[in-house]
Amino acid sequence: ERLTASPRIIDMYGHCAFSVTVEALDEEVEEFVVPGSGYAKHLDDSEDLDIRNKYTVTEKVEIALAMAESIADLHGFKDGIIVHDDIQLCQWLRTKEGKLKLGDFNRAEVMLWDDEAQEYCKYNNGQGFGNYRAPEEFAAEDLNEQIDVFSMGNNI
């Protein structure tokens, strides 16, 4: 709930650890960036990249910046680093005003602080799956917020 102060994170309110209410947003970023069946399947592009939307370079950079800023809100959270742990286009929703908001925190991890080492503790959630994961996720290595940055790079 404390992230509702961010205009880049979907408003959500938890109850009893298993219930959550979120603001209504009706459009996933994936639907307008990669229209049609999405890009989870092999693209089967020609030798060059086949353009799948009509966005200008400036608009694409603005979308990427909005995505990066929402991740920065998690990683720079005042009460400790939050790792989203499932960065992919469909996790961003667009408001009626055209603003992007990051949602779907079912895999999110709040990193613990080690007072003795004076650093955040990495965590492990087993071998990763999906198309956008960082190498350490596939190798089932210990993880930190850098996996979100790697996954965002795979998405843009």
**Is residue 67 pLDDT above 90, yes or no?**
yes
The answer to whether residue 62 is domain-embedded is yes
pLDDT-derived band at 5, boundaries 50, 70, 90: confident
* Percent of the chain whose predicted confidence (pLDDT) is above 70: 88
State mean pLDDT over 57-61: 93
CA 44/CA 97 separation, integer angstroms = 34
Alpha-carbon distances, residue 141 vs 39, 120, 124, 128, 135 (angstroms): 27, 16, 6, 10, 9
The answer to whether residue 88 is domain-embedded is yes
The answer to whether residue 123 is domain-embedded is no
**Is residue 40 pLDDT above 90, yes or no?**
no
The answer to whether residue 68 is domain-embedded is yes
pLDDT value of residue 45: 59
The answer to whether residue 71 is domain-embedded is yes
pLDDT-derived band at 54, boundaries 50, 70, 90: confident
pLDDT value of residue 52: 76
| Count of domains forming the chain | 1
The answer to whether residue 136 is domain-embedded is no
**Is residue 44 pLDDT above 80, yes or no?**
no
CATH number for the domain harbouring residue 29: 1.10.510.10
State mean pLDDT over 37-51: 61
Domain that holds residue 99: 2-107+145-155
The answer to whether residue 133 is domain-embedded is no
The answer to whether residue 93 is domain-embedded is yes
- The more confidently predicted of residues 142 and 51 is 142
- With tokens 């939307």, the residue in question is 53
In 10 A of CB 103, how many CB atoms? Answer: 19
**pTM greater than 0.75:** yes
Task: For strands 92-94 and 19-22, give the pairing.
Answer: unpaired
